[in-house]
Amino acid sequence: MKRTRCDTCGRFIPKERLEAMPGTHRCIDCARKLGTDVQGKKADISMDPETYKDLLGATRS
Ligand SMILES: [Zn+2]
């Protein structure tokens, strides 16, 4: 399986993040600091995918 490194800090990006944000080249820490690098789709909601998933879970009742 291909592992993707963060473009900003060089650490591996967790696969959970890659599943939530396919195409990202920025880890969670860097995305929180600098903003997401993925345009379109979920990126146009201005929050990180972890928060987004929490919201989806919370509102789907
Ligand atoms: Zn990083």
Q: Which pTM was predicted?
A: 0.55
What separation in Å is there between the alpha carbon of 11 and the centre of ligand 1?
6
Instruction: Write out pLDDT tens, residues 18-41.
Output: 998 888 999 999 999 998 887 655
- Give me the domain span that covers residue 47: 15-59
Q: Decide if pLDDT at 54 tops 90.
A: no
pLDDT value of residue 1: 61
| Confidence at 43, pLDDT banded by 50, 70, 90 | very low
Flag whether 26 is in a domain: yes
Non-local CB neighbours of 25 within 8 Å, separated by 6+ positions? 4, 5, 6, 7, 13, 37
Flag whether 42 is in a domain: yes
DSSP H helix total and E strand total for the chain: 3, 0
What separation in Å is there between the alpha carbon of 25 and the centre of ligand 1?
8
Flag whether 6 is in a domain: no
Flag whether 22 is in a domain: yes
Flag whether 49 is in a domain: yes
What separation in Å is there between the alpha carbon of 12 and the centre of ligand 1?
8
The number of folded domains in the chain is: 1
